[in-house]
Structure 1
Amino acid sequence: MTDQIYFPTDGFADNPEPRCPCVLLLDVSGSMNGRPIAALNDGIVQFKDELAADSLAMKRVEVAIVTFGPIDTPVDFTTAAYFQPPQLRAQGDTPMGAAIHTALEMVERRKAEYKANGIAYYRPWIFLITDGGPTDQWSTAASAVRAGEADGKFAFFAVGVENANMETLAQISTRTPIKLDGLKFRELFRWLSASMRSVSQSTPGTTLALPPPTGWASV
């Protein structure tokens, strides 16, 4: 009789650990072509590698990616252990407003799945990175972000790259947007992974002081 081989899965039954969801909301419009998109791809690989160094984060942190230019979801929510960084390509315009709505809908849908399966979860993070300004209607997205933050539904962060419209980002995010120093995506994602690892080691519902964005933020 041949021995059966059981492969691990990403399901709740096999991994009932609390989940720490993070949506990377990434601008891949045409203006990101060249060095910016290459640096962004390298940074996402760095994010994966940093999470892989923490066995608990591998079980608890869930990653999803929404890109805009045009809007796509190359990665739906998956634990860090199964997360495979996609190779992003720069193209299209910057439909940031619609992309934000997509991310918010994904977060609410995932939280409903946690609740239906009795899985505890941390407040989701939505991490927006853009090098420009929205080319679509974005005021309703801004209102949704601010209302969701006020209700504690998620934490929204905005990072501006090179020629990003920081004034618009300040109207969308309740937190002060941060300007990336050059193309230091690897340092940014190292900070993000360290932050997610800290959150995943805490008790759901507690508030943590995040490390300052040193090494990647423009001053």
Structure 2
Amino acid sequence: MYPTASPDEAPLPVPYMGFEFDSAQRLPLLLCLDTSSSLTQSKAIDALNEALASWAESLAEDTALSAAVDVALITFGGDEGITVWQGATPLGAVAPRWPHSPFVPAHEFRPPLLRAHGVTLMDRALRLAMEVVADYKAGLRDEGLTYYRPQICVVTDGAPSDEQGRFSHAYRDLLPELRRAEEERRFRLFAVGVGERHSGAEGVLKELAPHYHAWLDGFPFAELLTAMSHSARATQGGADEAEFQEIFARLKRRRGGGQVPA
């Protein structure tokens, strides 16, 4: 399990302080975003910030989603390598445990202003994302609350690296756990590449998410986040797998990259 903050640190904010739960099922949606230095090219980090701000507004305006969706954010890049966010509040490289979860209700989600820096520690960020989702589900169960199948969306513009920026195969250590999670329906994983295609990078995404992987031309962050909203609505509606595949296939047809999942 991931470490907890030491007791002498300042208290962490509690996402649901003063928030009245109703009987609606919660729908955890975690974005795992690459903010490495390569995002400075083509002003990609600006496009990502603009898309996050617009998406947050659309979530707040969507009655069904704002009532059920809970949003968390993990970025990989920067001085610490990984940063966990509770809305716009950086919590550092360590994720707090329930009830101090990174997840916040969609209607309260305010995205941070991200900057591009550092290397692509994708495997560590994804492992942490899986642990954050598992902890959140356990916390909801302890409170007697139910939840839909969570969504994790990993977005990168390059291949996973080590601390020195060299290509790393450490992500393969996650593959057995990801396959078990898929079989047990613990979460649905989307792995999306954007921008210039790098040798081997698309294959990494295919290994991580065999059914939901793609490499998209350009930096269509707004369209990608819209697809995540569509997937959340489909989850609420009890859609079968074919509907999720069609949502993802439409995104890929719009910007190209990869095959439509079978």
Query: Shorter-chain-normalised TM-score: which range?
Result: 0.7 to 0.9
**Map of 1:129 onto structure 2:** 155
Match of 1:22 among 29, 36, 41: 29
Q: 1:12 to 1:216 in 2, by over 3 A?
A: farther
Q: Any conservation in 1 of the 2:149–2:235 contact (CA below 8 Å)? A: no
Match of 2:120 among 94, 111, 123: 94
Take 1:13 and 1:48, find their aligned partners in 2: how far apart are those partners?
18
Alignment of 1:57 onto 2:65: yes
Q: Match for 1:218: what amino acid?
A: G
**Map of 2:134 onto structure 1:** 108
**Map of 1:218 onto structure 2:** 256
Take 1:12 and 1:147, find their aligned partners in 2: how far apart are those partners?
36
Length-normalised TM-score, structure 2: 0.73
Q: Match for 1:57: what amino acid?
A: L
Secondary structure of residue in 1 paired with 2:116: coil
Alignment of 1:119 onto 2:157: no
1:181 Cα offset (Å): 2.6
**Map of 2:83 onto structure 1:** 72
Match of 2:209 among 141, 157, 173: 173
Take 2:148 and 2:254, find their aligned partners in 1: how far apart are those partners?
26
1:169 Cα offset (Å): 1.1
**Map of 1:5 onto structure 2:** none
Secondary structure of residue in 2 paired with 1:213: helix
Q: Any conservation in 1 of the 2:159–2:204 contact (CA below 8 Å)? A: yes
1:10 Cα offset (Å): 2.9
Say how many residue pairs are matched. Answer: 208
Match of 2:179 among 146, 150, 162: 146
Unaligned 5+ segments in structure 2 are 1-14, 87-101, 163-169, 258-262
Unaligned 5+ segments in structure 1 are 1-8
1:13 Cα offset (Å): 6.9
Percent identical pairs in the alignment equals 32
* Higher alpha-carbon deviation: 31-40 or 173-182: 173-182
Q: Any conservation in 2 of the 1:51–1:197 contact (CA below 8 Å)? A: no
Q: Match for 2:83: what amino acid?
A: D
Q: Any conservation in 1 of the 2:189–2:209 contact (CA below 8 Å)? A: yes
1:11 Cα offset (Å): 5.2
Alignment of 1:38-57 (within 5 A): 38-57=46-65
Q: 1:153 to 1:13 in 2, by over 3 A?
A: same
Give the root-mean-square deviation of aligned CA atoms.
2.0
Higher relative contact order by CA 8 Å / sep ≥ 6: 1 or 2?
A: 1
Q: Any conservation in 2 of the 1:161–1:183 contact (CA below 8 Å)? A: yes
